[in-house]
A and B are shown apart, each in its own frame.
Chain A
Amino acid sequence: MRRRSGLVALLAVVGPGLLAGLSDDDPAGITTYSILGADYGYRLLWVLALSTAALILFHELGMRMGVVTGQGLAGLVRERYGIRLAAGGLTALIVANVGTTCAEFAGVAAALELAGVSRYVSVPVAAVGVSLLVLRGSFRRIEHVLLALSAVFAAYVLSGLLAGPDWGAVATGLVVPRLPGTRDAVLAAVATVGTTLAPWGLAFIQSYAVDKRLTPRDLRYARVDVATGALLTGVIGVFVVIACAETLHRSGQAIDGAKDAAVALRPLAGGLAATLFGGGLLGAALLAASILPLSTAYSVSEVLGVEAALDDRPREAPVFYATYALVVLLSVTIILIPGAPLVPILFLSQALNAVLLLPILGFVYGIVRDRDLMGEHALGRGGALAALATIALLAVCVVALGVLSVV
């Protein structure tokens, strides 16, 4: 096995990184990138570039922690920091996950409102449907349908190319950091970080690596997997921004609803833009809405130290199923509050992600630096500097956002 041809070995390891990366292009991600492009053109593209770099860095760390310790992130936090701090970190993760689950159901609502379906019908039906499929183990039957639907977002690449972008401006936007000193601009930057490097994505990639029983020998290929998934997220994100910058930003239109966001697909799809956008939104939303509550339930079980999996009956794993149900119920309730604004929920939940990401990244840093836990795979000095720089930069953005919001 050690000498398997590279491709075979890669295929055996591939999955966690790619899947986690792809799931980052959920409705919340697409909406956030759309707003970034529509409101600021190419000016904030560098935030996306940096976020992608941070995504590669931290997803690699997540993968590494899973491979070396055989444990999920939440469980490791308890092992390293004790129950009280772990409970704090877990609370942050739960809040972030409920926020993002709200965003996913907002995606369902927005997608089907394009087709004239009321959210009071679409959201409860989607919640019950997804839960039944996941909990009864028949998710596999529709999983590729959802993956294919969300792959529609690759259409942004074509749409962006067809729009004939100003490549010079794109390149400048990617490398020259400019940030208008307004609250909205900082908010857009923070939300971009929060949706690209989402707390749940970190927990997910680690637990998936544990699940695949990867060993340190697989790390080399796992890194390729992580980098590919993360880069794919970044590239799709950049093209979402390009497509929006060339259409919405050019005409000075802001995104108030899903209908506006769909305009960015017009260069490709013309009159079908709304249908294409709605289909992609729905697929990606359902996919993410099935992972998020489950990932949260695993994290809670890990911290409490009880093994649980979908094979268990509710009586055997009450904490697991209660968490799942609570996350879904809470999210659906929030979306169904009359007049709840969908696009702001999609967008602001991601800014919330970024804020709650801070303590979680701190925990990750402490764990990967710990030789007792990581042995020879502990993070070296160079990587530590990069991780600290990322955390510091995010902290500055979050503080700036706080200051600008108060003033």
Chain B
Amino acid sequence: MLALTDFLGRDVTGADGTPHGRLEDLAVDLAERHPAVTALLVRRGRGAPTHAIPWSDVASFEHAGVELNRGAPSADVVLGEALLLRRDVLDTQIVDVAGRRVVRVADVELARDDGQLRVVAVDVGGRALLQRMGLRRLARRARRHAVDWHELHPASRRGHALALRAPAASIQTLDGAQLAELVARLPVERAAEVLRAVSSTSAAGALSAARPGLGGRLVDALHAAEAGPILAQMPTDDATAALRHLGPERLDRLLAEVSSERGVELRRLLAYPARTAGGLMTTDVRTARPGEPVEAIRARLAADPPRLEGLMTVFVVDEQGRVQGAIAPSALVAGSATPAPVPIVAVDTPVDEVVDLFALHDVLALPVVDAAGRLVGAVAVDDVLEELLAERLPGRRRRWALFDPTRRRRASP
């Protein structure tokens, strides 16, 4: 494994021994999974312009120096939008997608591969850092910690922009939860760019998994036309949570981009205060009529499963929409459609009481009814967990939360 910093500043000489300057930087092509070096940036002296020498001119690339295969280098390569390892990667932040954290690059690890030089990983450990600071003795005790190039997203301004456009970018392979971790660690604007670059399904998954506050900021950072398709694919409760913090005009413009049916539904949900059963519920509920045969219910569920596993519970409602009982997923599996009694919550029930009900009763979801007693939605145990563990959902940890009056207080025991 070769370290970038071992080569920076080394002499570059022609085949005939003529000095051409010192190595300033390496340009790489992001088209591949492990990007290959395409050009060397070489500078003759302080203040002199840099030249971009094509990799094909290089005869040997060693710690002792770089030697070209010709006397004078070929004409400068046009770098265009190449990623420069020293400027755009070294000492900048990267999001370690697999490790779910933001770290700073202490060195870039390169490997020879059939005449090419490729970026394999970045070193974010203490060893590389201490070595560069000249503390070799301490460095020997520290650890090397590499992050594979394919498992990171560069957070530097240019690195981020280039990685978004690269076909082999790691972000295209992430699922919703991983994407949520990534966007939670980037500045809002860059996070919004990530959401633009991935499919609306992935973006919807990421927004659903993120903390509601963060989801709101991200939706706000997107254009209405971009946010529309994403909102259309989010479960209603997550969409409501993200939309809750937006101003009325912004909300109008966003909802104009989703189907009118969904727009009406989201508006109705937004009317319920945040920390109530109504504010937490989803309308993605499956119902059955009293006495309906179990096969019919099962067939309907199979054809149109709810987004959330917890909502596989089927609520039995009469013709006025009043809840008669619930059929748990386990009962359905056993082939029984006999409704069991279930606690019913009103839309204005405070979240804390909903939490207590879940603690007391062994159920996956609770039916939510309006003032007239009609079923309007359901709260799944998953929603309550999110509410309780809001601090643990993807979202950057805050340093100065010390002073934040809006910070949510943990429920007192």
Interface residues of A (CB under 8 A from B): 1-4, 15, 19, 68-71, 75, 78-79, 82-84, 86-87, 134, 139-140, 143, 207-208, 210-211, 213, 215-216, 290, 294, 298, 302, 304-307, 309-311, 372-373, 375
- Interface status of B267 (Cβ within 8 A of chain A): no
Inter-chain pairs besides A215-B189, A311-B397, A372-B87, 4 sampled, C-beta below 8 Å? A86-B91, A210-B187, A309-B399, A372-B158
Q: What is the minimal beta-carbon distance from A196 to any residue of chain B, in angstroms? A: 21
**Which residues of A sit under 8 angstroms from B155, Cβ to Cβ?**
70
Q: Which of B92, B189, B246 contacts A1 (CB 8 A)?
A: B246
Q: Give complex CA distance A311, B91 in Å.
A: 25
**Which residues of B sit under 8 angstroms from A1, Cβ to Cβ?**
220, 245-247, 250
Q: Give complex CA distance A69, B92 in Å.
A: 11
Q: Which of A86, A210, A213, A305 contacts B217 (CB 8 A)?
A: A213
**Which residues of B sit under 8 angstroms from A75, Cβ to Cβ?**
93, 104
Q: Which 3 A-B pairs have the closest CB atoms?
A: A305-B104, A70-B187, A309-B397
**Which residues of B sit under 8 angstroms from A84, Cβ to Cβ?**
132-134
- Interface status of B42 (Cβ within 8 A of chain A): no
How many A-B residue pairs have C-beta atoms within 8 angstroms? Tell me: 105
Determine whether the beta carbon of A304 is less than 8 Å from that of B247: no
Provide 25 A-B residue pairs closer than 8 Å at the C-beta atoms, listed in order of the A residue.
Answer: A1-B220, A1-B250, A3-B247, A15-B404, A68-B187, A70-B155, A79-B92, A83-B129, A83-B133, A86-B91, A87-B133, A140-B402, A143-B402, A143-B403, A208-B399, A298-B399, A302-B104, A304-B126, A304-B129, A305-B103, A305-B124, A307-B101, A307-B103, A310-B399, A373-B157
Known: A3-B247, A69-B187, A70-B186. A305 touches B129 (CB 8 A): yes
Q: How many residues in B have their beta carbons less than 8 Å from beta carbons of A? A: 45
Q: Which of A216, A306, A373 contacts B189 (CB 8 A)?
A: A216
Q: What is the minimal beta-carbon distance from B68 to any residue of chain A, in angstroms? A: 27
Q: What is the minimal beta-carbon distance from B189 to any residue of chain A, in angstroms? A: 6
Determine whether the beta carbon of B403 is less than 8 Å from that of A15: yes
CB-nearest residue of chain B to A8: B247
- Interface status of B221 (Cβ within 8 A of chain A): yes
Determine whether the beta carbon of A79 is less than 8 Å from that of B246: no
**Which residues of A sit under 8 angstroms from B217, Cβ to Cβ?**
213, 215
**Which residues of A sit under 8 angstroms from B90, Cβ to Cβ?**
82
Determine whether the beta carbon of A71 is less than 8 Å from that of B93: yes
Determine whether the beta carbon of A208 is less than 8 Å from that of B102: no
**Which residues of A sit under 8 angstroms from B132, Cβ to Cβ?**
83-84
Q: What is the minimal beta-carbon distance from B238 to any residue of chain A, in angstroms? A: 19
**Which residues of B sit under 8 angstroms from A143, Cβ to Cβ?**
402-403
Interface residues of B in 143-192 (CB under 8 A from A): 155-158, 186-190
Q: What is the minimal beta-carbon distance from B173 to any residue of chain A, in angstroms? A: 23
Q: Give complex CA distance A79, B89 in Å.
A: 9
**Which residues of B sit under 8 angstroms from A294, Cβ to Cβ?**
399, 402
CB-nearest residue of chain A to B186: A70
Q: What is the minimal beta-carbon distance from B311 to any residue of chain A, in angstroms? A: 31
Determine whether the beta carbon of B400 is less than 8 Å from that of A208: yes
Q: Give complex CA distance A307, B401 in Å.
A: 16
CB-nearest residue of chain A to B124: A305
CB-nearest residue of chain B to A82: B91
Q: What is the minimal beta-carbon distance from A213 to any residue of chain B, in angstroms? A: 6
Q: Give complex CA distance A207, B217 in Å.
A: 19
Q: Give complex CA distance A19, B101 in Å.
A: 29
- Interface status of B384 (Cβ within 8 A of chain A): no
Contact with A along B341-378 (1 / 0, CB 8 A): 00000000000000000000000000000000000000
